[in-house]
Amino acid sequence: MSYQLTIQHPVEIDGIGLHTAVRSHVRLLPAPADTGIVFRRSDLDGFEIAAHADNVARVSYATSLMRQSVLISTTEHLLAALYCCGIDNVFVELDALELPILDGSAKPFIDILRQAGTRRLRRPRRFIRVCKPLEFADGDRRIGIYPADEFRVHCFVDYHHPAAGPQEVEMTVNAESFSRELAPARTFTFVKELLALQKMGLIRGGSLANAIVMDDQCILNGPLRFPDEFGRHKALDLIGDLALVGRPLLARIVAHKAGHALHTQLVTRLLADRSLWEETTFQRVPARTPTSASLAISARSHAEAD
């Protein structure tokens, strides 16, 4: 049996929002057992929004949460870091509507969580163990969740680009593997999409410092941190959206060209059907011992990093 965790010490970080370009300050605070991950808008008298599927608002180019018309946007990178570090309970104070994009990855959040440390709480951790498969598609985009005794993700992307061809990531996810293999992977965009996004009022805070940018042929601000950084970042986003289940998952998730919309639909459909899962305080140890061999990442890019 494992026990719930919170952070040991408060930590903070600030930066500008990717879509709003508004500077925001984030402060993480310890929380009691069974609190979950709860955002507090410190600029709105501490108004609280739980990081749960019930509060999902918009998921087009970021995952946003809303309660009583109060919005918190671009939550997925922080949620992925908290989830993979095993932080069950934490208050996230935020003084604007959007979390900072920082360098476009989850690594800065991992860094401050290391500073924060962890504290064990006297309450068993409750897992959601998937018992039956759930899968669905939207055109050529597909996603599914399947029974497993560990948390494992399989993510496939293909942007038909000379520097970002087909990429496939599959790994058992824990604090170590996430921090090393996924957290540093940055968000990305294409020059041809920039004007359209800006007309929609998005990515006003985007820059070469917080996103990988590509034209029709190459990467404008290389080198990449990984040859398959695009696939790894999509896996990072997937994990951040899965954190909205509100419990650690024992399951294998397969995402094929999926995005925030399919990710959050999967969470909502899973939670709505109690025949698909059970809640347990016990995590069975997989038959094989987790080693570096449990991480399988393959990149089938048409080109290596610029």
**153 in a structural domain:** yes
242 and 154 co-located in one domain: yes
56 lies in some domain: yes
Say whether both 115 and 259 belong to one domain.
no
Indicate if 150 and 105 belong to the same structural domain. Answer: no
Domain limits for position 166: 127-299
Q: Are residues 87 and 231 both part of a single domain?
A: no
- Per-residue model confidence as pLDDT tens digits over 162-173: 888 899 999 999
* Residue at a domain's end among 78, 108, 124: 124
Which residues 6+ apart lie within 8 Å of 56 measured at CB? Answer: 63, 64, 65, 66, 244, 264, 267, 268
SS3 content of the chain, % helix, strand, coil (to 5): 25, 35, 40
305 lies in a domain?
A: no
Query: Which of 72, 102, 124 marks a domain boundary?
Result: 124
Q: Tell me: do 110 and 163 sit in the same domain.
A: no
Is residue 304 in a domain? no
Residue 94 lies in a domain: yes
Residue of 19, 52, 233, 260 marked active site: 260
Domain boundary among 90, 124, 158: 124
Do residues 235 and 96 both lie within one domain? no
Whether 260 is a known active-site residue: answer: yes
pLDDT in tens, 203-230: 778 888 899 999 988 999 989 999 999 9
Residues 287 and 139 reside in one and the same domain:
yes
Is 31 part of any domain?
A: yes
Tens of pLDDT, residue by residue, the chain (306 residues) = 899 999 999 999 999 999 899 999 999 999 999 999 999 999 999 999 999 999 999 766 789 999 999 999 999 999 999 999 999 999 999 999 999 999 999 999 999 999 999 999 999 999 999 999 999 999 999 999 999 999 999 999 999 888 888 999 999 999 999 999 999 999 998 888 777 777 777 777 888 889 999 998 899 998 999 999 999 999 999 999 999 999 999 999 999 999 999 999 999 999 999 999 999 998 765 544 333 333 444 433 333 333
207 in any annotated domain:
yes
What is the spatial distance between Cα 131 and Cα 142, in angstroms, rounded to a whole number? 20
Q: Using CB atoms within 10 A of its CB, is residue 269 exposed (0-12), middle (13-18) or buried (19+)?
A: middle
